[in-house]
Every structure is written in structure tokens, then in C-alpha cells.
Amino acid sequence: MRGARARAVGHGLLALLLAVVAGVARAEGDAPGPIAVDVGHTLEAPGATSARGRSEFEFNRDLSVHVVDALRARGWAVGTINADGRIASLRARPQAAGEAGAAFLLSLHHDSVNAFELRPWTWEGRALDYNDAFAGHSLFVSRDNPDTAMSILCARAIGARLQRMGFEPTHKNGRRRSYADREHAVHYYDGLAVLRHARMPALLFEAGVLKNRDEELLLRDPARQARMADAIATGLSACLRNGAPADDEAGADRPDRAEPPGP
């Protein structure tokens, strides 16, 4: 990318990053359409089980309430997808977002670890398992989404705001998923159905690692959920209202230059 357009995109990104760091998003009358917040998993297939035996779906649902509140407080129209945990299929999620005219799809999840990394323990008489080696959030985008550049930009903005507020990302998923932005733990996961079938920019957020016994307690804390939601809403608002993505996916992508931070 060269010349005036490159400078314009550079200025757009600079304005966006300044907005993210300052924690402000410019309010505009012509903000794009509503934001769809998707609650990952279902009552019947509730995803991972935490170290203390709680289902991922319950964590996702709790966080979604705070994220919806934080986005509405910034003036967005927000629709929750799968609030009752009874959605029919993965494909029905992006479809519902499309029918709502959503400008962005944000799918909320909580992370686990590989089965071979689990250790047994007993909690309140229940035989469960845990892994305390990994903690932190991470973000995923798909190159099979029609607007990967905007998806990456919003993921970076959210990641930057989270870190500005003291949340630390995990690099555990860098072992299998390549980075769109290493510094902010934004990964490519092209095959994720909820992202690749979306007709609008989309990202999947993993809020933390449920198998980590300390982090599980943090993730259950409503005040911390609200703080995390505030970071997400600030980053997403800044991206959607102020952000100008590079004009192609390669231009939006930052090469993996830096080593991940130490443990």
C-alpha cells in the first residue's frame, strides 16, 4: 500500500489506537447497525467444564449480560443470540445476526486445555480436573469471513483495551493457531463456523481458562466480568466508530515479529 491511501489508513489506525488507550469512543449519529452478542454453546452441549465443575455455557451467559449492558451504555443497539441456550445449530447463530441486520458478531466463550494436560483433583466431593499452567484471554478471527480486515481490527482494538486495563492474554493457543496479531493474542481460526458463515465482521472471544483454579474464581467474579465487558465494549466501539481497516487482509495483518511475553 502506498501514498495517500496508506497515509489515510495510517491516520485512521492511529486515531483508533489513541481512542482505545484513552478509553473513549467518539459517538456518532450514523453509527453502523446493531451488534450481535452470541452466547457460546448450549444447555444440551455446554462446552468445557471448569475446574470446580461449572459449565462453560454458564460462564458465557454471565459475561454476555455484562457485555450487552456495556455496549448499550455506549449507545449501541444490541441483540443477544442464544441467551436461553436453546439455539438449533452453529449456523443458526450467524444467520440470526444477519436477520437482525447486525454490523458485527461477537461470540463469547471460555477456554479449556487439552485432555492430556489435565490433572485430577477433588472439589466438594466431586472428582474433577484442572490445569493451572495457563491463564488469560485470546481472540480469534476467520479468513473465510467476508470482512477479515475489520474483524482483525476490532480484535486488536479489544485486545489493546483489555491489556490497557490490566487483563493479560494467554499464548497457549499460539501452539496451534497462527497469529493475526501476536501482541494482542489475536489468532486465525479459519474453520470456526460461527465466524466463517457470518456475513458481517465477526470474532470469537475466549475470556479465560476455566481449568485454571485461580482464574476460574476471577472469571466468576461479577465485578471483574463487568470490567472485562467494559474493555470489550470500549474496544469494539472505538473500532466500529473510529476504525478504518487496511484495504486488504494482508495489509491488516501484522507479521509475527515479536516473541510472546514470558510467563
Q: How far from each other are the two terminal CA atoms of the chain, in whole angstroms? A: 36
Amino acid sitting at position 154: C
Shorter beta-carbon distance to Zn ion: residue 47 or 201: 47
Which residues would be at the binding site for Zn ion (CB under 5 A)? 40, 47, 109
Q: How far apart are CA 40 and CA 57, in angstroms?
A: 6
| Smallest separation, CB 214 to Zn ion (Å) | 20
| Smallest separation, CB 107 to Zn ion (Å) | 9
C-alpha cell at 90: 452453529
Shorter beta-carbon distance to Zn ion: residue 194 or 246: 194
Shorter beta-carbon distance to Zn ion: residue 109 or 172: 109
Shorter beta-carbon distance to Zn ion: residue 159 or 208: 208
| Smallest separation, CB 213 to Zn ion (Å) | 19
Q: Is the dihedral of CA 74, 81, 142, 109 positive or negative?
A: positive
Say if CB 20 and CB 234 are below 8 A apart.
Answer: yes
Considering only CA atoms, which of 61, 103, 108, 143 is closest in space to residue 232?
108
| Smallest separation, CB 210 to Zn ion (Å) | 9
Amino acid sitting at position 180: A
